[in-house]
Structure 1
């Protein structure tokens, strides 16, 4: 393979998926210390990448705007074409969608991406020069590790990932977050929102957890509906604080300081894994084995649903059936027993 000096990574969304791909950066830099890495992302998620020392430039696109305004398509194409002047030696489409494949093709001549049988939108593979094969139902972090290393002629192993360094970075955080942290009790962050209602755990059971362990609970929220959920939980508990709305850098900073994160299968919960902070991720209609990496401190609890990763069922609310006693038991193991 010819020498790669300038690499573009296309991973547009969503927060959790971007985090799953970011783990590869530290290993790319180990193998190519002088490589320049640019990342193309939907503007709404760019702050997840912000301040990462391994990324030289973050370029924001707004492809989601095309749904509301078809004329936006031409503006976004023009924007992507402009970046072809950067003359990348290689572009890697780590998303595997038709739209990400088109963006990749517009910004670089040599494009690597998933093979036809490795993605759902199979046409995307026809736009790649180099095709990487890994089954779509394999672990998402392993898939990202492979697509971001194999085109560069090296391998990221499971051992590498398990021994990763924290890879989310933050500056200019709101220092008020530290006022909510307790010095006398364990700080447990609850992530109560998600992209679908059917991915969200029961308010009542979240409240039961907070009443079962006498620790300091903090709840973050990203929308008014999530704020209402947070307030509902707090109204049924004596030791819960609903935080003011946080920007992503402040959220990263907060996650890095807590003792445990308990949450749904969503971006902020995955931040804990990225920062080597203990976590319990709850899964109902999404596959736990695929959407995170289990470690001694990063655990999962799944509902009894049989999940097909090729066709997720948004009408499956089985996450709400998870027994909160099992969550409390696991939290005790993480917080107390493993420290002894």
Structure 2
């Protein structure tokens, strides 16, 4: 297959984009001169703009346009998408109706998930070719399998296990100590959040400085609670995406809920513990140093129960013991 210029469509969310970047290094290994563009929501662009394997990032603001019911903005967005280069191939890595429509506006030669494996089956109607990849499969393996099928890359599990960091490198943040852990206390749903009282217990059990990452005022308040109840815990300043990447990439360990910043640890080959309640290990790629601790809930990943607050039942002693094992100092 002769390819000079392709586009990857993965609009959101943060964790999903982080997990999708694994494919970039493997595409460039087989096609060293290829240009790879990425289409995403504007808020996530800083994560990708300095990536060495991405030629250009193109952004849209679908959430904002929908919220404001901005019809003229939609028209302008469609015009901008139609003006993008004529790609040899467009790969919709999201499998939603909105990402399929965006892909189809850009061009016709689109590859994506088939109706049985896309998150929204109608999306498959917009593709020129499709892959059947079980939805229950790990999100990392789904991303890899889709690219394998689209570009005939033959990425193996061993290649994933020995990957290079999938996100750009940044200098250590100015405020960090020589060695530190990070605790990610936020998440997109309340039921995915480990209680702040138990976060404080974990931090008290560790012997290193633990920076508490926050992104909203509620998360800041929770982080302040943790810092007040643990001498080892310290709030970070308000971080942008690049600063967050820098903090995660230089950490000795990341502990957190099933959310984007926690997934960054695996992307940077940093040891991590992901805490699960209503979701499960499908959302990560478990390794010897990237592990999951989950509640006793039986999770149906196709029908997630957002009212499952069982994450609160995870024993902080179990989290702390695993953290000490991974820290090795």
Q: How many residues align?
A: 327
Q: Specify the alignment match of 1:241 in structure 2.
A: 234
Q: Specify the alignment match of 2:290 in structure 1.
A: 298
Contact kept? 2:26, 2:153, Cα under 8 Å? no
Write the deviation string for residues 177-207 of structure 1: whole angstroms up to 9, x where unpaired.
Answer: 33331x3xx4110100011111100101100
Q: Distance in 2 between matches of 1:74 and 1:304?
A: 48
Quote how far apart the aligned CAs of 1:255 are: 1.0
**Secondary structure of 2:175's partner?**
helix
Q: Distance in 2 between matches of 1:151 and 1:334?
A: 37
Q: Distance in 1 between matches of 2:168 and 2:153?
A: 25
Quote how far apart the aligned CAs of 1:89 are: 0.4
Structure 2 residue runs of 5 or longer lacking an equivalent are none
Q: Distance in 2 between matches of 1:141 and 1:150?
A: 14
Q: Specify the alignment match of 1:79 in structure 2.
A: 80
Q: Distance in 1 between matches of 2:277 and 2:148?
A: 31
Matches within 5 A, 1:29-108: 29-70=28-69, 71=71, 72-83=73-84, 86-108=85-107
Structure 1 residue runs of 5 or longer lacking an equivalent are none
Q: Distance in 2 between matches of 1:98 and 1:235?
A: 45
Q: Specify the alignment match of 2:13 in structure 1.
A: 14
Q: Specify the alignment match of 2:309 in structure 1.
A: 317
Matches within 5 A, 1:158-177: 158-170=157-169, 177=173
Quote how far apart the aligned CAs of 1:214 are: 2.0
Write the deviation string for residues 266-305 of structure 1: whole angstroms up to 9, x where unpaired.
Answer: 00001110000010010111122x1001111111101111
**Secondary structure of 1:100's partner?**
helix
TM-score by length of 2: 0.96
Tell which deviates more after alignment, 228-237 or 209-218.
209-218
TM-score by length of 1: 0.93
Write the deviation string for residues 232-260 of structure 1: whole angstroms up to 9, x where unpaired.
Answer: 11111112111110111111111111110
**Secondary structure of 1:180's partner?**
coil
Match of 2:203 among 185, 205, 210: 210
Q: Distance in 1 between matches of 2:120 and 2:166?
A: 29
Q: Specify the alignment match of 1:263 in structure 2.
A: 256
Quote how far apart the aligned CAs of 1:170 are: 4.5
Quote how far apart the aligned CAs of 1:67 are: 2.3
Q: Specify the alignment match of 1:330 in structure 2.
A: 322
Contact kept? 1:213, 1:328, Cα under 8 Å? yes
